[in-house]
Structure 1
């Protein structure tokens, strides 16, 4: 009887050890998948790495091209307006890359750690760098409210990337 108890304890101990090993393997696999998604996102959207790369885009409208690709690759896309921008920018602080587009003519990458209060938007608007398309792409480096304009009916999208 004593020997049977020892055997049962040994079997239980070994089965618990195998369970823990499976959990560790799952975590490693999950991390690998996230790294692959990050690589896919930055490869397909070079703007996230180098803002000036947009100037090299040969498509008719590089901003539209970005929006099309980003819609599929972003972790989340939020339609911005004056009522939700404050909450959206607070949420954006948890993401690696944050981009705002205005219709098909403006694109900016945000630095959510540097902001300036905006009366028009009733929010602390982050520093931004990007382009306004007026025939040619015009480079911009200012606070977002000065680039994306006043709140109106134009479509403003906030793209959040891990």
Structure 2
């Protein structure tokens, strides 16, 4: 990813007919899912070497941990400790870059979503900006007529001002099939 960004920056330098050292703003993101870190580098200046490689000439910003995802996977109640903003939205923003796999949930694919959860250590489901749940036990389930599947026991939070904890079958936490966006995030 770094090389691609450097190549693109080089092409921009050549296309603009600039000198060998140019003040540029570039951002490089490297997601390491096994360490759950995101490294963001901001490059103020770049230099073109004799081998036509673009190298940064200014210091890079340090890596930022995906702290909320790690905390929630270790202890689901960590969501209650988020002091500002919507913890469900913050979790989902981090989960988009750190989950091993994600899938939009519909009535038509709920059986596949539930089967896939058996392949991963943790599955977290987010509905809109207001509901989050994780499966307690996929084997302990209750038939749901609305979803047409056996829904697992889960624990979650529903945001009604403050986070309201809820432990129930998944369908009773995230509701009946409708047009709301429901996404399952799978973690190893």
Matched residue, 1:131: 157
Whether 2:148 is the aligned partner of 1:122: answer: yes
Q: Distance in 2 between matches of 1:108 and 1:147?
A: 7
- The CA distance in 2 between the partners of 1:96 and 1:133, in whole Å, is 25
- Output the aligned Cα RMSD: 1.9
The list of structure 1 runs, each at least 4 consecutive aligned residues, that deviate by more than 6 angstroms after superposition, is none
String of CA shifts for 1:93-112, please: whole Å, max 9, x gaps.
11000010000000001132
Written as runs of structure 1 = structure 2, the 5 A alignment for 1:1-162 is 37=34, 43-45=67-69, 46-111=71-136, 112-162=138-188
Higher RCO, Cα 8 Å, sep 6+: 1
Q: d(CA) in 2 for partners of 1:124 and 1:115?
A: 5
Structure 1 CA distance for aligned equivalents of residues 72 and 106 of structure 2: 24
Shift of the alpha carbon at 1:67? 0.2
Larger Rg: 1
SS of the residue 1:113 aligns to? strand
Q: TM-score, normalised by structure 1?
A: 0.74
User: What is the total number of aligned residue pairs between the two structures?
Assistant: 128
Superposition deviation, residue 113 in structure 1: 2.8
Residue 121 of structure 1 deviates from its aligned partner by: 0.4
Bigger proportion of residues as helix:
1
How big is the shift at 1:115?
Answer: 1.4
SS in 1 for 2:113: helix
Specify the alignment match of 1:8 in structure 2. Answer: none
Higher normalized strand content (fraction of residues)? 2
TM-score (norm 2): 0.64
Note if contact 2:99-2:185 (Cα within 8 Å) is conserved in structure 1.
yes
Q: Deviations over 1:14-72 (max 9, x none)?
A: xxxxxxxxxxxxxxxxxxxx9x8266598441111111111101131000000000010
